Amino acid sequence: MHKAGIKMLLLAATYLACCVYAQASEQVITVGASLSSEKMEFEFKQAVNALNRRHLKSRILFNSTTILMDSNPIRSALDICDKLLAQHVYTVVASHPNSTDHSPISVSYTCGYYNIPVVGISARDSAFSDVNVHKMFLRTVPPFAHQADVWLELLVNLTWHKVIFVYSADEEGRSVLSRFQTLAEEHNIRIEPSVKYAPGEKNYTSVLAPILKHTSRVILLSASTEDAEVIYRDADVLGMTGEGWAWIVSEQAFDAYNIPVGFLGVHLVNGTNEVNHIKDAVQVIGHAFWSLLDTENISNPPTECKDIDSWTDGEKVYNELIKTQLNGETGQVSFNSEGDRLNPMYDIMNINGNRRSMSVGLYGHQEKVLGLRMMGRNITWPGNTQEKPKGEKISRNLTIVTLKEKPFVEVLPMPKDGVCRPVAPAVHAFLCKNASQDNCCMGYCMDMLARIAEKVKFNFTIHLSKDGLFGSFEKHNGSDKKYWNGMMGELMTKEADLIVAPLTINPERANDIDFTKPFKYQGLNILVRKTQKDSSLASFLQSFQDTLWILVGLSVHVVALVLYLLDRFSPFGRFKLAKSDDTEEDALNLSSAMWFSWGVLLNSGIGEGTPRSFSARVLGMVWAGFAMIIVASYTANLAAFLVLDRPEALISGIDDPRLRNPNKKFKYATVKGSATEMYFKRQVELSTMYRNMDKQKKYYTAEDAIEDIRIGELQAFIWDSPRLEYEAASDCDLTTAGDLFGRSGLGIGLPKNSPWTHEVSMAVLDMHESGFMEQLDNRWILVDSKSSCPESNSAPATLGLTNMAGVFMMVAGGIVAGVLLIFIEIAYKRHRGLKEKELELARNAADRWRGNIEKRRTLRQTLQKQREEQMRTNSISKQPASNTSLPMAPNANTAVASAPSLDSNNTNTITPSYRRLSLLEATTKSDCLPPPPPSDYRPPGYVPARSGRTVTWHNPSHNPDNVV
């Protein structure tokens, strides 16, 4: 037993020696704490021990020392000096006194003097954010002033942009107001009035009553619980807690026992859980020292309050604490430069109809998402209603401003009976005043306004813009200050509640007014007058260039000449078949070759001779192929030319060189002070065009510019595409050029933060989804019932008289030429006919004479035979008598008797039979002359008879054998 006891003592001594050696090699960091209760002291020590267990291999050992917070600040400061600083504390965790709301201000002052960092776990006073006073203070809870962040997110989520801020006239109230004002400027939320009250009063009716005169119905309240109870009582008496009102209150004010139904408030998650904040504070301290001591060493802190010098390394420790970030028991723990907790979690609380508080949302950093998340829309509002207040006291009788802009707004004179009636395609027509004159307004926007008013449930009156302008922000009338004119100016000066017109949404306007969702998307386009191509009489010849026409005409005659030469000099060119009746007149002559060449080219058939030789026929086939290609090319090119030969725009679009670098004769413009002008002014690459337009004539309405386009005073007008498309559809002489550019939307304008913006926007979206906007487009923008244009731009081109006038003129010229030639031919034929008649008469006379001569010749031959016979007879008669018995020739006496009649002058002279009469002798005889015509003789009619290529005149009554 004795030996065993000695062994145990040796082991204990060895363990103590190891511990002493280990402690000698480690740096001990003592963390002090001033806490509210002994339970919190126990939790603090457990958190420090857990910190050591988490990093066993670390050379840093954390030690803890605690005191209880005293409600007396002086005693609390003394305890810090005597009990905490004496333990060499490197940092202090501070809570608030038990069962009190006193802040640990004495701890912050005392430790701050010696540069010892203090980590607050419950102090939410905004005063601790002042680094000049509390330079070494940081906290794991956010100050009350940070509730303004949550309020702002709620206002944005609920689309309220005008509020009334009620705050206490103390440092806490001023801090909340200051932070909210800074944040509100970034989100265009305006504080209509800020109402300050003195805390601790028994009645606040006089403070709350002026609120009733303002239009805003959203109240932000920063007050303590005691003051909030009095404010709720007085506000209820004034009727400010009922339907139509909205209240968002601070955490302290939300704890009032008499908080009305429907109020909203915020509540810090784990804000009162001191245990969790102690754990997070210890974790922050541990991470800071581990990080700091890995890189450098720090000196020891002061040990008593008698020391005059502060801790030189205290600021290093404080800066390392500020930089620390971790996920702790209360969420993500991080700090800003003032030492305030960042990204805390807040519950959005609501008092329901049972007067119980319930969470309706969450704000803070959760799962890497920072922001507001509303859990459903089951919020109860003041007056125990589920309908969200509009946030403003608004009248449902709205004033609408518009201007004349077809087809969106058309202004017609008021009928004599004073009742506005819609004119098709309009569905609605409303009274609209122009100064003292009453008019009727209808159109795209008026039909849309009627549907919006029906959905949103408001009444309205309409008036036209005083100066007829959309609105531009510039200096006017020599003033040095810029301001909006036109409809924008009237909206800014609250002369109108809405702008219902084709108002383009652009950054300049959106900076000063609100726009609904676009009711129509559009762009900019260019309106020009159509340039009709002048079709000349020779337009059908434009398919080929002049050079090609000359070459084709020359080729016809060259080919004809070559065909003639080939056929003439070819040995087979005049070859005839043995039994062919063809004569050499059928061979190809130069005239036939010419007609052949033209006939092949014009595909008119071959009516003349064709080549006979093989060489000429080969050339003819090649010429036929050439003619086929030429004719087909001409036909195709003519069709293409006619398709493209349509009225065209003068320019190709916004990038046309005539717009970028115009000459003096080319003028283009837009409406002065319009969104289109702002677009050109805003775009750097279009600045040259803006300067050119600024030098030209100023147009203040689209109607004036469009009229100048019609009469040719203006070459191009740049404006919104719907209006230009409408004008182009209504006037056939106008057209749009190029593609759309500068795309934007048309919206309804409202004052900044108007309570109607959301509802009107939702109505516009609903009309888009239901197809109502498409109906308006078809009725007003895309309508072409007024258009009398014969064709649209997408229709194929058709032939007209202007295109083919030259062809008709060519036919007419051919007719005239034919008529002239027929007269020439008739005159020539008459002249030729007289000669033919004379020749025919001569020919007939010659034929008669020739017939008589033939008969006389026959007679002479007969007489000669008779004489020979007579002589033969006479010779026989001189022979022996036997010869006398021969018979005499018949008619011998007649012949002999008639023989002397051959010569009446010399009856005794007998012409010998062996001599032939001369022509003179024959023609001198009376029997050789034709007999005289009878008394009833008439010249025969001559009938032309065609024989082959020769025309003769034939007398059917003439018989050359009829000789008298």
d(Cα 82, Cα 85) in Å, to the nearest integer? 6
Burial (Cβ within 10 Å: 0-12, 13-18, ≥19) of residue 192: middle
How far is the CA of 494 from the CAs of 140, 403, 489, 752, in angstroms? 48, 17, 9, 11
Binding residue per annotation — 676?
yes
Q: What is the sign, positive or negative, of the torsion defined by CA atoms of 156, 162, 164, 170?
A: positive
The set of residues, in sequence order, having a beta carbon less than 8 Å from that of 268 and lying 6+ positions away, is 141, 142, 251, 344, 345, 346, 347
Half-sphere exposure of 476 (CA within 13 A, CB side): 12
d(Cα 539, Cα 240) in Å, to the nearest integer? 85
DSSP 409: B
d(Cα 707, Cα 717) in Å, to the nearest integer? 10
The DSSP secondary structure of 527-577, one letter per residue, reads EEE-BPPP--TTGGGTTS-HHHHHHHHHHHHHHHHHHHHHHHHSTTTT---
Structure tokens at 947: 């024989």
Do 630 and 552 form a contact (C-beta atoms < 8 A)? yes
Binding residue per annotation — 402?
no
In the chain, count H helices and then E strands.
27, 30
d(Cα 471, Cα 672) in Å, to the nearest integer? 9
Structure tokens at 892: 């011998």
Cis peptide before 939 (omega within 30 of 0): no
Structure tokens at 799: 């032939």
Binding residue per annotation — 380?
no
Residue matched to tokens 């970034």: 186
Structure tokens at 169: 């006239």
Strand (E) positions, 71-120?
A: 89-94, 118-120
Paired with 349 in beta bridges are: 265, 359
Do 597 and 623 form a contact (C-beta atoms < 8 A)? yes
Burial (Cβ within 10 Å: 0-12, 13-18, ≥19) of residue 833: middle
Half-sphere exposure of 826 (CA within 13 A, CB side): 6
DSSP 927: G
At residue 318's C-alpha, the angle toward residues 316 and 320, to 5°, is 70
- SS3 of residue 917 by DSSP: coil
Q: What is the sign, positive or negative, of the torsion defined by CA atoms of 220, 226, 231, 232?
A: positive
Burial (Cβ within 10 Å: 0-12, 13-18, ≥19) of residue 855: middle
Burial (Cβ within 10 Å: 0-12, 13-18, ≥19) of residue 352: middle
Amino acid type, 425? P
Binding residue per annotation — 139?
no
Binding residue per annotation — 860?
no
Annotated binding site for L-glutamate: 502, 504, 509, 676, 720
Annotated binding site: 502, 504, 509, 676, 720
